[in-house]
Structure 1
Amino acid sequence: MNTLTDSLWRDNLKVVYLYDIGSAKALSKFMVPGWITLVAVVSGSIRFSESLCGAEISAGDIYAVPGRAEVDSFSGVLRIWLVSCTAEFAVSSRIVRFGAGYMEIFARQESPVLAVNGKELRHVILLLRLLKKKIGSRHAVFKDEMVLLYFNMIVYEYIDLRYKYGKNKAILHYRNDKIVMDFISLVQQNSSRHHDVKFYAECLFVSSGHLGKAVKAVLGISAKRFIEMAVLSEAYLLLADTQLSVSELAEHLNFDSPAAFSGFFKKNTRLSPTQYRLSLKF
């Protein structure tokens, strides 16, 4: 099997072009369980199976692979583009600021197969190529920002196609999905003031344990971690505003002290807030 891939960003984000694939087992290695995955099929077809339903995608299709789906078989000369990432990467890519709709497309336990036209498929593949090129660039200025930009462009392009081609397709709304979507919306609105899982559980009229299990099952990360990543995402944006001191930022994000905020930020980024702010100038 021939693959085009890059070593950079491999821990959290993967963009690959796959062709000359020898077996379903070999293909399955690129479908990491629990990761958020989009597949664009250039030629051939793939059959997925999972506990609730299966799906078959072929040339011209774009598909958000459910977390529990497995590759059952494929046929023809298979050539596909695949982009996948961890839930933490998606959260840190500012999804909380963009709303629950961004994450909802990946939280479903069933996803429609989108049969797009040739122009639309080429446009998505162009974005995938640009993302892959930017990931592989070793000395690009604003590399992090460009990777996030292209990644989000791909997701929004998918959302647009989802509304165009998938709006009349029946989608099963599972109870855990509904709880998690409401949780994401609440985090979007309240993460700057409320950092505890208990607050969100009470708003949703469920126990903290039940909420934690639902979020883990649907998103693959804990509810606490999702909240932390949402707070971190907000902190990134606030640190870019040089009008706010670190003390003011800590107060805005409802930390007990600037030291508590600095400790939280450094634990997650290995940089102090001041170091991160200085890095933005280079």
Structure 2
Amino acid sequence: MKLENLKISGILGKMTSSQKDDCYAVCWIKNGVKGIKINDSVYTNVSNAIFFLNPTYDWEILKKDTSAFSGYVLLIPKQILNNPIFKNLHITEVRLFNVDEIPKINLSPGIELRVQSILEMLDELISTNLKHREEAILSLLNTFFVYCDGKCNIKSVITDNNAKSALVYKFKKSIDRNVTQYHEVGYYANSLHISDKYLNECVKEVLGVNAKQLIDEQLVMRSRHNLKFTDKTIKEVGYELGFSSPDYFSYYLKKMTGLTPSQIRKS
């Protein structure tokens, strides 16, 4: 598959759509952007969000400062999304770019760094003629969409008044800050001044999972990272993540992943 029309540009100043491209647009806005104008409607509070825009939309990223990097715009030709590599993804299953409402994803804390790395690698590959370039680009696109599909992110339609999505985002930010000390839903519900039941209801509605699953997901992700990419002992990793003993840490990981800490470290 030819990828010549796949384009990526860093957001340094104001950017607008071009109907000549006839491409889907993925706008990842990191920060420093006043707003995004879509079909004459302006949306603010857009930092750390991804917007999926089909070719029928006129859009404009509103940014005056041209010195600071504020994210990426990725233009994807229609035929690329028909590649079999994307067939099992949410983006293909529900045709995310083709819905009547404008899809938006608020990236959960920590995930934006991974998204930025993927887009930086795409930016580099698109401008080269390396051998197996096309396979690598498709693989990176697939990885990007997997992160967008994942439970780690908050899917919603574009709105500045989605109270439940906002609450879930606050919950996930609190997990990111406090998960090494607090593993129970009750702590986070209390800090948000709501009941456990209502927190679970909001998380279920927005993400399709319960609140404890988000806490467990963060704990498992941090456990895997520390075991595989640091020299810390299993005991040190467990204690730093708030587990009362190495035995309980091992029991927890075995229950959640089917593997012991030692097996994760060797995998």
TM-score, normalising length: structure 1: 0.46
> Which protein has the bigger helix share?
1
Normalised by the size of structure 2, how large is the TM-score? Answer: 0.49
